[in-house]
Amino acid sequence: MAIVLLLALSSAASTARGIEGTIAPASTGPGVHRAVHAFGSSAQTPARSLWDGVYVAEQAARGQAVVARHCGYCHGDGLTGADDPPGPPLKGQRFLDRWFGRSLADLFVVIGVTMPRDDPGSLSLEEYADILGFVLRENGFPAGDTPLPATVEGVGALKAILIQPEPKR
């Protein structure tokens, strides 16, 4: 699983490798930057926004159970972080500040390629998609009608969706 994601998303995956072993300030890989930039400059398809709802409620509910089994002992079942074994919070302002400006594909790949830290890449794409839905829900992003994809191509398309604060209307 990890290998497939790595191959299909090599530009985003370099970010994932860069982030492993550090919870220091967020850095976006140049490849991802280029991909996002290229997409933004093509006027045809307006990018979907995270605030339109990019996961369905059922995914987040399933993801909560997956997190409790595979992630909670390091990150807390409620994603608020833990000390022993240590894992940073996966919700809240500090987490979001690290991720604003990066893509949903980046976050998917960091989770899918480097986590669970003691058994990276061990879950199915469906389970990783469900986890991402739960992480989004817990960070206040709305559910919608379109499920997060559980195919490699689908995850690649998430490069076009940026993690960003709610746009002012």
Kindly indicate which of the ranges 5-13, 35-43, 67-75, 141-149 contains the residues binding ligand HEC, using the contact rule CB under 6 A: 67-75
Rounded-to-integer distance, Cα 9 and Cα 14, Å: 9
Q: How does DSSP classify residue 43?
A: -
Q: Does the protein bind ligand HEC through residue 104 (CB under 6 A)?
A: no
CB of 13 to ligand HEC, least distance (A): 14
Which 3 state secondary structure label does DSSP give 61?
Answer: helix
Rounded-to-integer distance, Cα 28 and Cα 51, Å: 21
Whole-number Cα distances in Å, 30 to 10, 95, 155: 12, 21, 18
Q: Report the residue from 17, 33, 48, 98 that binds ligand HEC according to the rule CB under 6 A.
A: 98
Q: Which amino acid is present at 92?
A: G
Q: Does the protein bind ligand HEC through residue 117 (CB under 6 A)?
A: yes
Kindly indicate which of the ranges 44-52, 79-87, 139-147, 158-166 contains the residues binding ligand HEC, using the contact rule CB under 6 A: 79-87
Q: Does the protein bind ligand HEC through residue 25 (CB under 6 A)?
A: no
CB of 138 to ligand HEC, least distance (A): 11
Rounded-to-integer distance, Cα 13 and Cα 114, Å: 10
Q: Report the residue from 75, 102, 137, 159 that binds ligand HEC according to the rule CB under 6 A.
A: 75
Cα angle 120, 49, 53; round to 5: 75
Kindly indicate which of the ranges 5-13, 38-46, 80-88, 143-151 contains the residues binding ligand HEC, using the contact rule CB under 6 A: 80-88
